[in-house]
Structure 1
Amino acid sequence: MLYLKLVKNSGGTMRFIHTGDIHLGATPESKRPWAANRGDEIWNTLERLIKKIKIDPVDLLIIAGDMFHRQPLLRELKEVDYLFSTIPDTKVVLCAGNHDAIKKGSFYDGFKWSENVIFLGDKNIESVEIPELNTCVYGLSYHQTEIKDAMYDHVIVDRPDMINILVAHGGDEKHIPINRKKLAMSGFDYVAMGHIHKPEIDEKMKMAYSGSLEPIDMNDIGPRGYIYGEISKRGLELEFVPFAKRIYRELDFTVTPTATNLEIRHRLIDMIKEQGQDDMYKITFSGYRDPDFDIDVSDIEGVGNVVSVIDNTVPDYDFEELYAENKDNILGMYIKKFLDRESLTPLQRKTLYYGTKALMDAMEDRA
């Protein structure tokens, strides 16, 4: 679990949840039958978060951009605003990111939010004071999909006596580059960042990426959720809270020369059952297999929510026999270089296997 703990103040502490990159409207893995409802699951996870806040209220909910995967429909804005209206004692602060940038004709323009919602919709950094929380929030919204200017580099807090929070969506060269050292000198008590889907807490700089609330594609490996925080002028405490319905996992499987497809299937089913049957898996096979055996990839895809299968196994060759059969060609010459050595390091042995496989594949293609 990611966490940061500084000096915690016993009085005047504000409780908040920081999330972002929710990507409502996205439909990850939609072509796979088991993922037909992934789009609905993303909406349901946002609803679960709001229900959690109703049960255990916080003072502030921060959504650091990309609430939507693309331009929101008017009815979608109304649905989200309704959810926010059900937590009237929680101030909600949000901005538009690069995916849901406020372009011409956007329904963000002129939308009337509930009284507890603060939408940082300007293309330049603006600040809004929340007197009852002794807090001032800063931020901007994207009005185009790419912003290469370092918009956050020169912002300075106006009210150092208040709790100052910057809502910052970006962090790469095409989406508002972020200089963490400069931000740390700007006087913010916390920088709530979005755009990067992997959660990260920067203890030294008092800033964090919440990561996406749900994983959006197969590169979003590992836990996804939100940041829970408590903040005052004397200190900050942050904790990453896993909250996603399902996550992507990498599963490494070592194959032996005696392996069969049924054995592999049964072992994978047990491994997935142990790690989480709801989760989504990228399976990578390694090791040595019988030269006459091939892994049935289509069968493997049916053992669970499998999004990719990579076969890095190599045939467990009898190199003495292969050399005897190929003395007069490039394959034989390649094998002989290794057979002439007294012993092979693990790296040399791997090189021998992979090189032999590549040469045999090339010879088959020419045949």
Structure 2
Amino acid sequence: MKYLIRSLAFVVLLASCKTSKFPDLEDGIYADIQTNKGDMLVQLEYEKTPLTVANFVSLAEGNSEFVSEEFKGKSYYDGLIFHRVMKGFMIQGGDPLGNGTGNPGYRFADEFNDSLKHDKKGVISMANGGPNTNGSQFFITHGTPTHLDGVHSVFGEVIQGLDIIDSIANVPVAAGNKPVDSVIMDHIEIIRQGKAAKKFDALQIMKDYFAEEEARVAEMKKKKEAFLAEAAAQKEKAELTETGLMWLMLEEGDGPKPKEGDFVMVHYAGWLADGTLIDTSDKAIAEQDENFGRIFQMHRGQFGPTQMLNSPDAPLIPGFREGLALMKEGDKVRFFIPGYLGFGDRPRGPIPANADLIFDIEILPSEQQ
């Protein structure tokens, strides 16, 4: 009997060890980031940013089903370094390659909450290469980079160990702001306090997200196929100019025809002949496309009508210049631009050499300019 009591007491002691380091925690989900410079306790905003927290938790606990084979069954962050340290700005880690280019084998979407901002030291946020390209990399602020609000997904803040951020931020760095001596994450321990926190199913949230993402991609594929079918039918009805430009009126306006040398405000969207969106001034079109991240970066997040010069000398591709000269205010026209009236034999970004293009161009009425 005494042995049984001692055994039970030992089990209770083991069960309490996880939280004995932080005995006064309120209900919530926390991450104890243990480094060779000391430990930081992060409170995770699992109710405000459930997807981002689920990603972080499933990686830390090593139960993600979506990581590359080499990471499965492993506590992902154990042994990784803070590979980028910028005093007064942030410390960044979570890259298995240690150079800012690595990921867990998948990407997931941004997740924003207006109450979560980069407005203090200790905010933890996702690092990425553009919109909706989150993986495993994160950063912790050492300053107040509020210009990152709405660009990078905040998902918690350091509530104990702010001095450790200072220690890491002040280490000597080499090229690329990489610490001379490695700052290592030995382990990240996830702590759940309270019923709601213990019910938080990180793995299920990730499963649901990727199921929805798979359905979204399938729907986008259908839309692309429909777009190509529509464009093929329209091309049969399009008018042909002497240069080889083809055009079809989609919506006819009743405004005047701009004079040569006039500036006009234009909405546009351009595709490759295979339906790949290459650029648009319309955020609604961009958001529905798989290339939104790239286009968002091109525009630095600023979408809207673009001022263009209606002139044979305008700095536009030949087909676009010719198309503008055919239009009136209020017209919306679809143009089929052969490669030699596009970018020619100069590949540019996602546009191959001699690529045929499809462009929708709309000249806004004067009252909207």
TM-score (norm 1): 0.22
Instruction: From the two aligned structures, give the one with the greater helix fraction.
Output: 2
TM-score (norm 2): 0.22
